[in-house]
Structures are given as C-alpha cells and as structure tokens.
Amino acid sequence: MKDKVINIASNNDEYTLEIKERLINLLRKNGYDYCDGFSKHGELNITIGGDGAFLRGVRESNFSTIPFVGINTGTLGFYPEITPEKLEAFIFDYISGNYNINSMNLIESEVFSSEKSKKFYAVNDIILKRKDMKTIHMDVYIASNHLEKISGDGLIISSPLGSSAYNKSAGGSLVYPSLKTLQITPLSPIISNAYRCLDCSIIVPPEFEISIYPEGREDYHVALLADGTDIEYEELEHVHFRTSKKVIKRLSTGSFNYWNVIKDKFL
C-alpha cells in the first residue's frame, strides 16, 4: 500500500524551513509521504508561512479542490490557523478526523479586450490601477445600472474574507464570511468641483455583476492584480466581476469564530 500524499508549499526563510522539516518527520512517522509543491494525488494542501504563502499556494495549485490548511510562521496569519507549537496536535486531529471542511467562494473576473475574454480568479481581492500610477477614471456598473465614474488611484473588489486585507486598510468595511458578497472600495477617490464620486465602499449581493469600464484613452495602461499577483492580458477594455460558483476548501481543526479572529489579529 502506497503512503498517502500531503502537498506542502512553504516560504524559504530559515524558521519556516525548520517547521517544514518537523512537519515532514511527523507525516512520515504517521504513514504519510509528501510532495514539495502540488500533486493532484495529494489529499491535503498544507502551506507554511503567512497569508501570502497561503494565497500563493492556492494560486499555484490552480485553485485545487483538495482542501487547504495553513501553518503560520508569518506575522498576521489570517488564513493559516495552525501555530508551530501545535503541529503534533494538528496531525493527531487530522488522522482522527477531528476537523471541518469549509467552502470559500472565489472572486471571478472576466477581462474583455479586442473582442476576446479571459477569466481570472482570486481569494482575497482584485485591484485595478493605472500602471503609471496616475489618476484613473472608471465607470462603474452594478447589474447593468450605471452607478458612477470613480476618479482616483484605483479600486478594490474584495471577497468577505478579503475584506480584512487591503480593503480594510483602504477604509472598506469588514464583511462576515457567510454573506458571500463582493465589495467595491475606491482608492483615494477624488472629490472636488471637477470630480464627484462616492468616498465609501459599496457592498454588492452575489446575484449582481459588477462591470468596470476604464476611460478609453491611448495612454491608459491598466494593471489588474489578483491577490497581489499581476495578471497578464492584452489591452483591457472592460472587466466583469462576480461571486464565482468555483470554490476552494479550507480545513479547520476547530470552530471558526470570525469575531475572535478579528479581535486577535487587529485589536
């Protein structure tokens, strides 16, 4: 009988590599093999690092349906819930089946350019800015209804769990994960006699599509970043955003209390 495979994606700093070695030894003692990176034959994806390692692991697995869990060797650690001190307890709980699997809806973006379209996904957020970092003007539509023209540094489209990341730093609202909404948050919106736009975030229910049309000028080169990763595409004309039916699965060994996490991480 072949050993069961656990996928491991980790940062490369000294402390994280020490924790990775401890994890590998524990897995081998309990009849598991491991894969450095991602294997479709794995039964669990473990990331070691902080939130960045977790999000990178999800993206590099191409949003695998194999469950994810994170071991936190970073600073904030919103997604990775396992501390290095509790590695043994985690392995025991996993082998014993003492865990829950929760589904997380992704943000889906469909980028249109030159009569072509391509879909991209994100866990936390998708950001639109100009590549030269100058002021950008974008028309915002919700469910095909024109809302406003946002002028400023850009905007963030965030998921509920992503609402506590860049969105929060930009003045957006915290959203409870079960609501499955999208949030539009302007980045440094310009409010003057020349430009008028909302200076607050907008929370959109999952059945509504958000459409963004950047101003059509030849000197406009729009950057689109999904979970901090620069997305490559041909000249962007407009983008549709929606709550995707595509999900990733997150393994938790305890009851997830959102308010306790917020208090622990931010207050």
Return the active site residues: 51
Q: Which of 116, 129, 144 is nearest to 214 (CA)?
A: 129
Q: Tokens 């082998």 identify what position?
A: 95
Q: What is the number of H-type helices and E-type strands within the chain?
A: 5, 16
| Alpha helical stretches, state H, the chain | 14-29, 51-60, 87-96, 166-169, 258-266
Cα distance between residue 4 and residue 46, in whole Å: 14
Q: Which of 59, 50, 44, 70 is nearest to 228 (CA)?
A: 59
**CA 77, 81, 83 angle in degrees (round to 5)?**
90
